[in-house]
């Protein structure tokens, strides 16, 4: 057992950049930059629930870290360190090598040190702790949205949902979009450039993991506000092109999870700053609505001007 | 599902002392003291391997945190924050309430904030991340032992092993000692006063989780040294009293795990400081041997002056 799991550990012993001591002692030693808070999150992924036994191990390695990196970006912080605790039914060398490859590819892409961990035998379970840094007092939380703020979303929400429906339900996807949708699902790109750049601009922010409406609900709850989404401003064109089904495209955009785009609010007077940021990062930033007083709840303003009340899980006429 | 697991989370939402933001956002926010390094460890505990389905949930809550706190103490650091990621086959309210009680009892005893976590359905698995602080550059690592240093152990190693043998193999234990042995096994007391007090005194340190000899081996490997243990100085008297079996007592003392005492080395000129510390903390500190050049390996000097080579797993004539 010991030597078998020593072998496993060797897959996770690459050099670090932000770490004074990564392994080989009772604990790791990290140095947080002066004047910074530590930003910390943990995520537990269970086989059969969050991923399947036949999930590509390289994709799983990438995604299990990427979704955690996204949590740090969503606070406006820079990711620095990850810990990986891993339970495996057996030491499957090929699986491990592939998982480690994907994990480190993501770590290197987003400048994260794997700086500690644990390995044990057991039903397959990945517990990833991610830590980042943010200048003290500047983290972008969920509770800062105010009535009148604009509502923004980054990039292209909805592609991961189209990919999932493609794989699970054989939803046809047009060839030029299929790979991009599958990549969004399997290799999400956390918005680590955008998140920190929105410090001092965004009033509230989170990453879209469960769907735009559901996650927007967390901002509304935490901030005590409502919101109105402007249907004409939703980035649906590419989704419609991909699946040739406007209703599906809207469902993917508003209720599809797993894209890890950033959803944020900002005062209207920051529009020019946000448009400039979009240019600088070469990343579309869509102003999809605005924050309202809490009494107005969550509504969708259709192109014809009618306002449809929304539940946070989507539209009854789509999902019913 | 969601509401069921929301219920779970309510068991783990007590106030924090060292934490700017513990929950309810993408990540927690912690402030590390200026001039300090962060000390970080993670431990994954799997049902059927690290604990059993019928383990008392209160004891499990205590111990799962205590063994992690011990890792921080063993670096000479102060524990501050814990994250708990928990997979459970179902939301068993009584089990959760008891587990949370034990966990928080330990957290309060050692001044640790539960400052983040995750909960999911799955085969029972506890992944605990512990973080502490240490003044930069002062952590006590495993690699600082030098030939000529004294070898010390705190408290009473061996009691947890006697308790395990009592429960598993019906080893009779004398009544006055039985409860203390069971408490050592179920409610280990990490040495959070001693660990930080040894900064600037100890040259190497770790906590005894797998047995004194085995863990001493980690110091010898990391420091590139050997060691000689003086049999007459081993704290065996209480163990012999408890089990009335000198051979068992020695095996418990040298190879029994799970006591979480601190094993450390220090230059001989610090003996008076260490004895004074023992007085101040009302904690026995036993000078059980000394560090040697690496060529001498690991030896036990018997009371009659003969030297017995040791393997790190114990004595062949005990375990064979």
Residue A115 falls within a domain, yes or no? yes
Is A304 flagged in the annotation as binding? no
Q: Which residues contact B252 (CB under 8 A, 6 or more apart)?
A: B157, B158, B159, B161, B162, B165, B239, B243
B278 and B160: one domain?
yes
> What is the predicted pLDDT for the residue at B5?
59
**Which of A 8-37 lie inside 8 A of B, CB atoms?**
20-21, 24-32, 34, 37
CATH number reported for the structural domain that contains residue A200 in this entry = 3.90.650.10
A89 and A201: one domain?
no
B206 and B106: one domain?
no
| Cβ separation A122–B121 shorter than 8 A | no
B115 and B226: one domain?
no
Q: Which residue has the tokens 């769907």?
A: A211
A67 and A109: one domain?
yes
B97 and B186: one domain?
no
B95 and B64: one domain?
yes
B126 and B245: one domain?
no
Q: Is the pLDDT of residue A307 over 80?
A: yes
pLDDT in tens, A192-207: 999 999 999 999 999 9
Query: In angstroms, rounded to a whole number, what is the distance separating the alpha carbons of residues A247 and B143?
Result: 63
CA distance, residue B176 to nearest chain A CA (Å)? 33
Does any CB of chain B come closer than 8 Å to the CB of residue A154? no
pLDDT in tens, A129-177: 999 999 999 999 999 999 999 999 999 999 999 999 999 999 999 998 9
Q: Is the pLDDT of residue A214 over 80?
A: yes
Q: Is the pLDDT of residue A316 over 50?
A: no
Q: Which residues of A touch B20 (CB under 8 A)?
A: 37
> What is the predicted pLDDT for the residue at B158?
97
pTM of the model: 0.91
Percentage above 90 pLDDT, chain B:
81
Burial of B175 (0-12, 13-18, 19+ CB in 10 A): exposed
Q: Is residue B128 helix, strand or coil?
A: strand
Helices (H), chain A: 2-10, 57-73, 93-109, 159-169, 175-186, 194-197, 212-223, 237-243, 246-255, 271-281, 316-319
Q: Is the pLDDT of residue B314 over 90?
A: no
**Exposure string over A135-148, b if 16+ CB within 10 A, otherwise e:** beeebbbbbbbebe
- DSSP annotation of B121 reads E
> What is the predicted pLDDT for the residue at A10?
78
Burial of A65 (0-12, 13-18, 19+ CB in 10 A): buried
User: For all residues of chain B together, what is the average pLDDT?
Assistant: 92
Tokens (6 digits) for A53: 């036994």
- Mean pLDDT computed over A1-27: 75
CATH number reported for the structural domain that contains residue B38 in this entry = 3.30.1330.10
Would you give the end-to-end CA distance of chain A in angstroms?
51
- Number of domain units in chain B: 2
Q: What is the ipTM of this complex?
A: 0.88
* pLDDT band for position B237 (cuts 50, 70, 90): very high
| Cβ separation B28–A20 shorter than 8 A | no
Length of chain B: 320
Q: Which residues of A touch B50 (CB under 8 A)?
A: 120
Query: In angstroms, rounded to a whole number, what is the distance separating the alpha carbons of residues A29 and B217?
Result: 22
B28 and B90: one domain?
yes
Q: Which residue has the tokens 């590139």?
A: B224
End residue of a domain, out of B106, B135, B164: B135
Percentage above 70 pLDDT, chain B:
95
Does any CB of chain A come closer than 8 Å to the CB of residue B72? yes
B123 and B161: one domain?
no
* pLDDT band for position A262 (cuts 50, 70, 90): very high
Higher-pLDDT residue of B150 and A11 is B150
Question: Which of A48, A127, A138 should we substitute to test contact with B (largest number of B Cβ atoms within 10 Å)?
Answer: A127
> What is the predicted pLDDT for the residue at B103?
96
Tell me which H or E stretch contains B268: none
> What is the predicted pLDDT for the residue at B17?
83
Residue A318 falls within a domain, yes or no? no
End residue of a domain, out of A84, A100, A135: A135
Q: Which residues pair with A291 in a beta bridge?
A: A227
> What is the predicted pLDDT for the residue at B10?
78
Residue B313 falls within a domain, yes or no? no
Q: Is the pLDDT of residue A78 over 50?
A: yes
Query: In angstroms, rounded to a whole number, what is the distance separating the alpha carbons of residues B315 and B320?
Result: 8
Residue A315 falls within a domain, yes or no? no
CA atoms within 13 A on the CB side of B69: 31
Q: Is the pLDDT of residue B231 over 80?
A: yes
Residue B245 falls within a domain, yes or no? yes
Residue A110 falls within a domain, yes or no? yes
> What is the predicted pLDDT for the residue at A14?
83
Burial of B52 (0-12, 13-18, 19+ CB in 10 A): exposed
Query: In angstroms, rounded to a whole number, what is the distance separating the alpha carbons of residues A183 and B302?
Result: 66
Whole-number Cα distances in Å, A58 to A52, A105, A159, A161, A208: 13, 9, 20, 20, 23
User: Is A231:A310 a contact under the CB 8 Å cutoff?
Assistant: no
Query: In angstroms, rounded to a whole number, what is the distance separating the alpha carbons of residues A62 and A64?
Result: 6
* pLDDT band for position A22 (cuts 50, 70, 90): confident
B129 and B218: one domain?
no
CA atoms within 13 A on the CB side of B226: 13
Does any CB of chain B come closer than 8 Å to the CB of residue A139? yes
Does any CB of chain A come closer than 8 Å to the CB of residue B317? no
pLDDT in tens, B78-137: 999 999 999 999 888 899 999 999 999 999 999 999 998 999 999 999 999 999 999 999
- DSSP annotation of A210 reads S
Tell me which H or E stretch contains B138: none
Query: Using CA atoms in the order B52, A44, A63, A289, what is the torsion angle rounded to 10 degrees?
Result: 160
End residue of a domain, out of B107, B135, B163: B135
Higher-pLDDT residue of A1 and B240 is B240
Burial of A229 (0-12, 13-18, 19+ CB in 10 A): buried
* pLDDT band for position B313 (cuts 50, 70, 90): low
**Exposure string over A93-104, b if 16+ CB within 10 A, otherwise e:** eebbebbbebbb
B89 and B158: one domain?
no
Is A215 flagged in the annotation as binding? no
> What is the predicted pLDDT for the residue at B319?
35
Residues spanned by the domain of A233 = 150-308
pLDDT in tens, B39-93: 999 999 999 999 988 899 999 999 999 999 999 999 999 999 999 999 999 888 8
Residue B205 falls within a domain, yes or no? yes
- Mean pLDDT computed over A51-78: 95
Q: Is residue A225 helix, strand or coil?
A: coil
Helices (H), chain B: 2-10, 57-73, 93-109, 159-169, 175-186, 194-197, 212-223, 237-243, 246-255, 271-281, 316-319
Residue B140 falls within a domain, yes or no? no
Tell me which H or E stretch contains A120: strand A113-121
């Amino acid at each position: 057992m010991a030597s078998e799991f020593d072998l496993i550990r060797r897959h996770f012993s690459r050099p670090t950049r932000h770490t004074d001591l990564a392994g080989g002692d009772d604990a790791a030693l990290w140095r947080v930059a002066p004047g910074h808070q530590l930003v910390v999150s943990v995520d537990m992924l269970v086989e059969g629930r969050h991923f399947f036994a036949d999930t590509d191990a390289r994709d799983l390695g990438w995604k299990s870290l990427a979704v955690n990196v996204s949590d740090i970006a969503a606070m406006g912080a820079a990711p620095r360190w990850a810990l990986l605790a891993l339970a495996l039914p057996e030491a499957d060398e090929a699986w491990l090598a592939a998982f480690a490859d994907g994990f480190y590819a993501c770590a290197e892409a987003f400048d994260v040190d794997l700086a500690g961990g644990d390995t044990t035998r057991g039903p397959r379970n990945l517990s990833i702790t991610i830590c980042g840094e943010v200048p003290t007092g500047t983290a972008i939380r969920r509770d800062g949205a105010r009535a009148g703020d604009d509502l923004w979303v980054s990039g292209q929400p909805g592609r991961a949902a189209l990919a999932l429906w493609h794989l699970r339900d054989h939803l046809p996807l047009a060839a030029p979009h299929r790979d991009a949708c599958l990549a969004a699902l399997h290799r999400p790109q956390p918005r680590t450039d955008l998140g920190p750049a929105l410090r001092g601009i965004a009033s509230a922010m989170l990453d879209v993991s469960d769907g735009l409406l559901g996650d927007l609900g967390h901002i509304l709850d935490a901030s005590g506000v409502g919101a109105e989404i402007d249907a004409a401003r939703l980035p649906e064109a590419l989704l419609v092109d991909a699946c040739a089904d406007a209703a599906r495209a809207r469902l993917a955009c508003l209720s599809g999870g797993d894209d890890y785009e950033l959803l944020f609010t900002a005062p209207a007077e920051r529009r020019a700053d946000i448009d400039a940021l979009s240019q600088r990062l070469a990343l579309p930033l869509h102003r999809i609505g605005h924050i309202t007083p809490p009494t107005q709840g969550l509504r969708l303003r259709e192109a014809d001007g009618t306002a449809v009340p929304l539940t946070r899980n989507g539209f009854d006429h789509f999902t019913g």
